[in-house]
Amino acid sequence: MMNAKRLGPMVIAFIIFWLTILYTGAITQDIADYFWLTPGVIEAAGLAPPQEVLLGSIFQHKAMKTGDVLPMYGSSELGTGYDFNPTRVFANRPTDFTPFIIGRGSCQTLVHILNIAAQNDIKEKKIVITFSPDWFGNLQGIPNDKFSDNSSPLKVYDVLFNPDLSPKLKNRIVKRILDLPQVAKDDYLLKEYLTTYKSSDWKSLMTRLFLWPQVRLEYASMQIQDARNVKIASSKLDRRIVTKLASPTSDQAVNWEKIKEQAVTLAKTKMKNDFNIEDDLYAKNVKPATKGYQKGANKLNDSVEYDDLKLMLELLKEKHVRPLFVMIPHNGLFRDYTGLSLDIRKTYYQKVFRIIQDAGFQCVDLSSHERELYFMQDPWHLGWKGWAELDQIINDFDHN
């Protein structure tokens, strides 16, 4: 009788303990939402994102649930364009939405597959995905170290334990992660757990079952650390900006033609050459060593990145998200100089556009602007006029 009396509370305590572990993500999200992600914070974080936005989960989950926030996934192009970058043009919510930047230099498709696969209940959420030709310039897709730098074990666990993701798609994503194991190189438990996905035999399944309690505990500890990081990062945001963004706004009429004229005016003060390269970067890029160095190059159209893109499209279909893809063009004036043929560039544009279109999604094709002055600002990134044009497109997308 006495043993039974003792056993009951122990069982209850055990159940409560594991329920807490299993729901740590929801608990930490609620705590963060209540105490730190007060009105205006998520908008401010999206305009000048700390690394906790990319590597963590709580900020992104909140952005996906915030109606007047438009998540924008991409790479270093999300930080170019000076005053015509969307974080500047829409900083004061002139048309009643705020861009939320997710990405930085060296991010590619697989990084954002994890970001999106980690989300729950995002049906009909509008997002923007920008991508660059350079993503497809490596035959193996994103390099191991670049993936590791821009993702985290927490994001991998988010995918592994997301009940909103079909087992078939989850397995495909995990197998792709296994091609780039550096993300788990310092995490023995995660590395071993991922390895069990290489095979579906009984030994792998038993190993996965054995590791499950340990990895769930580790995952919970990472979720708690993510909440602490959010607390610290949110406290460092400019409170004046947070307060301003917390106030309700109403749509204003934006003179897009004037903005484009201002973009060209500023560009003319920054660039006085015919290569669409900012003067400060001209000497570094236009030199004998780069002239003709891409002549005969053809790897652009055979990259593993295309497979990652197709995987991304399947994920978006399963999640029922409403994405707008933006095809950043080559800097055609500079690529003529480096010898990357127009035929190869056109083949790339057509191939990517067709893949996205065949999947049933919108793709903004900016390739017709690849030789337009001031559209780019260096060999890779949109410039003043390019962003001014795209800002209007993004605004129309958000409001339609």
Kindly report, residue by residue over 31-68, the tens digit of the pLDDT. 999 999 999 999 999 999 999 999 999 999 999 999 99
- Show Cβ contacts of residue 303 under 8 Å, excluding neighbours closer than 6 positions: 135, 136, 137, 138, 139, 140, 141
For the record, the structure tokens of 358 come out as 């065949």
- Write down the pLDDT at residue 3: 64
| Cα–Cα dist 144/141, whole Å | 9
Per-residue pLDDT band for 248 (boundaries 50, 70, 90) equals confident
- As a whole number of angstroms, the distance between CA 400 and CA 388 comes to 19
Q: What integer pLDDT is reported at residue 8 of this predicted model?
A: 62
Whether pLDDT at 81 is above 90: no
pLDDT of residue 302: 84
Quote the pTM value: 0.93
